[in-house]
Amino acid sequence: MNWRLYLFSLIGIVFAVALLGAGLVAFRFTDPQKSGVSNALLPLLLSGAMATCSVMSLWIRRDRMIGMIGIHAGLAVPLISAIALFIRGYDLQATEGLASPQVVICGIAGVLGVFVFTAMLRTRPPKEERGATPGDDV
């Protein structure tokens, strides 16, 4: 396999771990009178999706379809997470204020999502190294 594919997958796994950490920190800093599950749910779901896509991208040599789904969904998940976390942070900002830990976590994780998308786009394996045949228009 190619080093780019491993780097692509590693970036995704690191982002998944960062989202997992963000979800746990958001849960920890929730007001004791409220349920912290609502603050932790979005980052935890996105973390699971990113980890799944990263593992799927490594299967490209065994099953091309699963690998391509992993690569392309792995590119989409950081953008989706950035948008979702920015929206969640904006909604929380209206009720809890700008200095709330959950708002700060959502903002940082959203910016991280944009950086991860850019890094994954730059390290995505070229068409030749993804197992594509010369006639494919992938």
pLDDT 10s digits, 64-110: 899 999 999 999 999 999 999 899 889 888 887 888 888 888 899 99
87 vs 32, which has greater pLDDT? 87
Domain boundaries, position 75: 3-27+36-123
Calculate the CA 7 to chain-centre distance.
15
Q: Establish if 130 belongs to a structural domain.
A: no
Q: How many domains does the chain have?
A: 1
Helix axes 3-28, 37-57, angle to 10 degrees: 170
In angstroms, rounded to a whole number, what is the distance separating the alpha carbons of residues 17 and 21? Answer: 6
Q: Establish if 69 belongs to a structural domain.
A: yes
Residues sharing a CB contact under 8 Å with residue 15, sequence separation 6 or more, in sequence order: 50, 78, 112, 113, 116
Q: Establish if 132 belongs to a structural domain.
A: no
Q: Establish if 138 belongs to a structural domain.
A: no
Calculate the CA 33 to chain-centre distance.
30
Residues sharing a CB contact under 8 Å with residue 20, sequence separation 6 or more, in sequence order: 43, 44, 47
Q: Establish if 134 belongs to a structural domain.
A: no
Calculate the CA 128 to chain-centre distance.
25
Q: Establish if 46 belongs to a structural domain.
A: yes
Both structure tokens of 63? 């099953």
Both structure tokens of 94? 């209206």
pLDDT of residue 132: 54
Q: Establish if 110 belongs to a structural domain.
A: yes
* Mean pLDDT to the nearest integer, 110-115: 94
Q: Establish if 135 belongs to a structural domain.
A: no
